[in-house]
Amino acid sequence: PPDSTAPAAPLVVVEDSDEDFDVLCWALRRLGVARAVRRCTSGAELLALLRAGAPRVPQPALVLLDLDLTADDGRALLAEIK
Protein backbone atom coordinates (compact mmCIF):
# COMPACT_ATOMS: atom_id res chain seq x y z
CA PRO A 1 0.00 0.00 0.00
CA PRO A 2 1.16 3.57 -0.63
CA ASP A 3 2.76 5.42 2.25
CA SER A 4 0.13 7.94 3.39
CA THR A 5 2.80 10.07 5.07
CA ALA A 6 4.83 10.51 1.87
CA PRO A 7 4.22 13.72 -0.08
CA ALA A 8 2.16 13.35 -3.24
CA ALA A 9 4.21 12.96 -6.39
CA PRO A 10 4.54 16.29 -8.17
CA LEU A 11 3.26 17.31 -11.56
CA VAL A 12 6.07 18.23 -13.93
CA VAL A 13 5.44 20.84 -16.60
CA VAL A 14 7.91 21.18 -19.46
CA GLU A 15 7.22 24.67 -20.76
CA ASP A 16 9.61 27.35 -21.96
CA SER A 17 7.04 30.16 -22.10
CA ASP A 18 6.53 32.03 -18.83
CA GLU A 19 3.08 33.17 -19.93
CA ASP A 20 1.90 29.66 -20.84
CA PHE A 21 3.27 28.25 -17.59
CA ASP A 22 1.51 30.95 -15.55
CA VAL A 23 -1.83 30.26 -17.30
CA LEU A 24 -1.46 26.52 -16.72
CA CYS A 25 -0.73 27.04 -13.01
CA TRP A 26 -3.73 29.35 -12.73
CA ALA A 27 -5.97 26.72 -14.36
CA LEU A 28 -4.65 23.96 -12.08
CA ARG A 29 -5.37 26.10 -9.01
CA ARG A 30 -8.89 26.87 -10.29
CA LEU A 31 -9.46 23.13 -10.70
CA GLY A 32 -8.36 22.52 -7.12
CA VAL A 33 -5.20 20.59 -8.00
CA ALA A 34 -3.22 20.53 -4.76
CA ARG A 35 -0.08 18.76 -5.97
CA ALA A 36 3.25 20.51 -6.20
CA VAL A 37 4.12 21.67 -9.71
CA ARG A 38 7.73 21.43 -10.85
CA ARG A 39 8.74 23.32 -13.98
CA CYS A 40 11.38 22.31 -16.48
CA THR A 41 12.17 24.74 -19.27
CA SER A 42 14.06 22.32 -21.51
CA GLY A 43 14.24 18.69 -22.50
CA ALA A 44 17.66 18.36 -20.89
CA GLU A 45 16.27 19.61 -17.57
CA LEU A 46 13.42 17.08 -17.72
CA LEU A 47 15.74 14.19 -18.54
CA ALA A 48 18.07 15.14 -15.68
CA LEU A 49 15.09 15.24 -13.31
CA LEU A 50 13.77 11.87 -14.44
CA ARG A 51 17.20 10.26 -14.31
CA ALA A 52 17.89 11.54 -10.78
CA GLY A 53 15.26 9.08 -9.56
CA ALA A 54 13.86 8.24 -6.17
CA PRO A 55 14.48 8.57 -3.30
CA ARG A 56 16.39 11.79 -3.96
CA VAL A 57 13.79 13.19 -6.33
CA PRO A 58 10.26 11.76 -6.35
CA GLN A 59 9.14 10.67 -9.79
CA PRO A 60 6.31 12.78 -11.18
CA ALA A 61 2.70 11.69 -11.14
CA LEU A 62 2.24 13.35 -14.53
CA VAL A 63 4.43 15.11 -17.08
CA LEU A 64 2.80 17.86 -19.16
CA LEU A 65 5.05 18.42 -22.16
CA ASP A 66 5.02 21.36 -24.55
CA LEU A 67 5.52 19.65 -27.91
CA ASP A 68 6.54 22.97 -29.47
CA LEU A 69 9.54 23.84 -27.30
CA THR A 70 11.77 26.54 -28.74
CA ALA A 71 15.13 24.80 -28.23
CA ASP A 72 14.03 21.14 -28.24
CA ASP A 73 11.98 18.81 -30.39
CA GLY A 74 9.09 18.00 -28.07
CA ARG A 75 8.07 14.92 -30.06
CA ALA A 76 11.59 13.47 -29.92
CA LEU A 77 11.67 14.17 -26.19
CA LEU A 78 8.33 12.41 -25.78
CA ALA A 79 9.67 9.36 -27.63
CA GLU A 80 12.74 9.33 -25.39
CA ILE A 81 10.83 9.45 -22.09
CA LYS A 82 8.35 6.78 -23.17
Give the pLDDT band (50/70/90) at residue 6.
low
Give the pLDDT band (50/70/90) at residue 59.
confident
Residues β-bridged to residue 63: 12
Is residue 4 pLDDT above 80, yes or no? no
Put simply, whether the predicted model's pTM sits higher than 0.75 gets the answer yes
pLDDT reported for residue 2 = 58
- Other C-beta atoms closer than 10 Å to the C-beta of 57 total 14
Give the pLDDT band (50/70/90) at residue 70.
confident
